[in-house]
Structure 1
């Protein structure tokens, strides 16, 4: 793909993908993530990696990462990118940060990204993940460590752990809701320990009227998108490509409909 620095397309017409890296909110760097590079090579859209603060101290625990995410979103807009041309991708804990960011933007009636692609979202910071022994035997994720990360991330606001910061539980605080959430593609592994929380989260989105596409990887573990080399049409990256294209087609269709309506309106007057 050509360098964005050499792109002569007006910036208001360009697309961009914002990426929130995994790592349990305590580690991870967007340049070390294979998922973002795979999405860039598949979609031919440049990726803007958000290196948000990791919760290694109380000072950098929540809401530091969300503050950085909001700042990054407005940074792209200040460069001239339109929210309708910005997509969000994230995996594991990065998705929880994006979801909280959306809920914040939505509550304050601010513009939001057009699309969201979420891989194995960490959306329940209360569950200790020991309820299914089979998943614990099959998945590589350390359940005890994830529980520790969730406490560390919410150290400043422990009362939000089972509400705003655990959207899978469906108990969002007053003023927060999923109505208006962007069109979303959610992928997870059938044998990962986060599976049940992810399914509940998807159900909450659908109840709010959000258009959701899903893919459950057969016999796949947590965040399997970072391991798979499958680039087929039926694989996760083929599905992501189709997801982006369908949304583009819908945008074009709406624009054509709007322009036709305006012509009819002018003719009527």
Structure 2
């Protein structure tokens, strides 16, 4: 099911995105791993944990993780996979989802998986799988991921299904990077109005894939099987360079019999959900509703 947002974009969304595009244009052509990490860290530093949720760090299966525990948490779990083009990002990004954890009385865990190019595929997938295997057993779980983390979440579900792990109750993937060949037409149609660039993502893709083919299913989950996937919510903006990734994933999921819902936010660019705009608030409301329904299923 596709749920397009037909409303005109708000003035706030347009203004905020113009600022982001201006900042991105100044760094075009100068993207490298160090700069990507610096920009990502700056964005993560703006995220705030909501009151009533305790934040701690620990290790699970030898992998660093960050826990968010509401005062009235039960057995339900939100398993978060952060973005950052596989070369940047951290579990701090999960602070943006702490309200979701509090609302549904669920513990939230985010994984600091190893990053490329120092640790190419399958290091990141191995890390999220190791943690998931330990913390999600016999617990109602929804996996949440954004951007590269959204693609990695897709690969995680595939591995869990193939290896007989705990199948999550649901999957929320926001503007997922699911095709690391970066061959989609939306790179052309949205290249001038999104913060992403095909050139920058292609460098990150090569760093992450290492010696593996970019179209290998666990590297680019778009080329894999979606048979057996749980109900899935995909959220993306129509000005995102990865728009086609979301559309193609949703099409493949429905062809495989998956209960998949695609929400397209008019004029939203990559990462729009982190902006203080009405569209972001509405998208979060729909995500919360989806998570609540998924976690309540027997």
The 2-side partners of 1:241 and 1:94 are apart by 19
* 2:163 aligned with 1:115: no
Q: 1:32 to 1:246 in 2, by over 3 A?
A: closer
Could you tell me whether the CA contact under 8 Å between 1:188 and 1:216 is conserved in 2? yes
Between structure 1 and structure 2, the one with the greater Rg is: 1
Write the distance in 2 (CA, Å) between the matches of 1:6 and 1:189: 30
User: For residues 142 and 34 of structure 1, do their structure 2 counterparts lie closer, same or farther at Cα, with a shift above 3 Å needed?
Assistant: farther
Q: Secondary structure at the match of 1:216?
A: strand
Cα distance change of structure 1 residues 40 and 157 upon mapping to structure 2, 3 Å threshold: same
CA shift digits 1:231-257 (9 cap, x unpaired): 89x811110121123234543xxxxxx
User: Could you tell me whether the CA contact under 8 Å between 2:186 and 2:244 is conserved in 1?
Assistant: no
Q: Which runs of 5+ in 1 are unaligned?
A: 252-269
Distance in 2, Cα, partners of 1:194 & 1:5: 32
The structure showing larger relative contact order (alpha-carbon pairs under 8 Å, at least 6 residues apart) is 2
In structure 1, distance between residues paired with 2:69 and 2:182? 44
Query: Is the strand fraction higher in 1 or 2?
Result: 2
1:56 aligns with 2:56: no
Shift of 1:180: 1.4
CA distance in 2, matches of 1:8, 1:142: 42
Which residue of structure 2 lines up, in the alignment, with residue 154 of structure 1?
209
CA displacement at 1:54 relative to structure 2: 0.4
Task: State the 4+ residue runs in structure 1 displaced beyond 6 angstroms.
Answer: none
For residues 164 and 257 of structure 2, the distance between their equivalents in structure 1, rounded to whole angstroms, comes to 18
Partner Cα distance (2:104, 2:260) in 1: 19
For residues 74 and 243 of structure 1, what CA distance do their matches in structure 2 show?
Answer: 23
Aligned residues: 234
Q: TM-score, normalised by structure 2?
A: 0.70
Matches within 5 A, 1:29-68: 29-33=90-94, 35-57=96-118, 60-68=119-127
The structure 2 residue matched to 1:183, chosen from 231, 247, 254, is 231
Equivalent residue number for residue 240 of structure 1: 287
Is there any run of 5+ residues in structure 2 with no aligned partner, and where? Answer: 1-51, 55-67
RMSD: 2.6
> Matched residue of 1:52: which SS?
coil
SS in 2 for 1:90: strand
Give, in whole Å, the separation in 1 of the partners of 2:91 and 2:70. Answer: 22
Mapping for residues 92-103 of structure 1, pairs under 5 Å? 92-103=147-158
Question: Which of 167, 177, 202 is matched with 2:221 structurally?
Answer: 167
With over 3 angstroms needed to count, the CA separation of the structure-2 counterparts of 1:137 and 1:8, relative to structure 1, is: closer
For normalisation by structure 1, the TM-score amounts to 0.77
SS at match of 1:136: coil
Q: 1:41 to 1:227 in 2, by over 3 A?
A: farther
Conserved in 1, the CA contact under 8 Å of 2:187 and 2:197? no
Which is helix-richer, 1 or 2?
Answer: 1
| Offset of residue 7 of structure 1 | 5.6
Change (3 A) 1:93 1:248: closer
Note closer, same or farther for the CA distance 1:32–1:239 as it changes in structure 2 (3 Å cut).
closer
Other-structure match for 1:82: 138
Query: Using the alignment, how far apart are the partners of 2:129 and 2:186 within structure 1?
Result: 35
> Is contact 1:231-1:238 (8 Å) kept?
no
Is contact 1:119-1:186 (8 Å) kept? yes
